[in-house]
Structures are given as C-alpha cells and as structure tokens.
Amino acid sequence: MAEIILDDNNFETEVLASDIPVLVDFWAPWCGPCKMLGPVVSAVAEKYEGKIKVCKYNVDDSTEYAEKYYVENIPAIKIFRNGEIVNEALGFTPQPKLEALIEEIL
C-alpha cells in the first residue's frame, strides 16, 4: 500500500476519522533528513499494510494541521489513534525505532 498524500482538505477524513491507527510523516521536499526518512516510511507502509495507515503531509503545501499539532521541525512523525496523537518522533528515525513506536500502539 502506498502512502496517502495528505493536505488540509483530507486530513480530517484520512487521519482523525480513521478506524485504524495512522502514521503521519510531516515533511518538505527541501529537507535532507526528510528525504532520508522517505524510504523508511515506505517500508513501514508495506510491512504494516492493513494494520496502520501511512500518510505524508507536505508542510510547504499545507499548514493548517502542521500548526495545529505544533510541527516546528521536520521530519516529524506523529501516530494517531481515534483522532489523538499516541506516539511521535522528531528528526530522522531509523526503521527499527519507527516499528517499535508502531508496535507500542497496535
């Protein structure tokens, strides 16, 4: 399953109203660590397909939810369940650590 591209128009539907946990990668195309994290997020999306939804939110294109969740540095990973943040990580996060954050909430 590919990552879902989020913006201010579909964030509520895809993330806050989701019936399964959602990992949101807040990123920007100019961000070096974000580029490094991209393949990790893709691998996690494939590994946890059907168990967790994986989404990407470009903070250059959309700002409403980045501001709402106080995303001041990127990359920022926030994991939501039932519309609430239940886990998060800041900066480049290696795949084993990202998987551990997911496993904690599954």
Tell me 53's DSSP state: E
55 is catalytic: no
Marked catalytic residue, from 15, 22, 24, 31: 31
Report the C-alpha gap between 9 and 36 in whole angstroms. 27
34 is catalytic: yes
Q: Tally Cβ neighbours within 10 Å of residue 87.
A: 18
Report the C-alpha gap between 17 and 40 in whole angstroms. 25
The one-letter code for the residue type at 33 is P
Question: Strands 22-27 and 53-58, how do they pair?
Answer: parallel
Marked catalytic residue, from 24, 34, 44, 102: 34
3-state secondary structure of 42: helix
Residues acting as catalytic residues: 31, 34
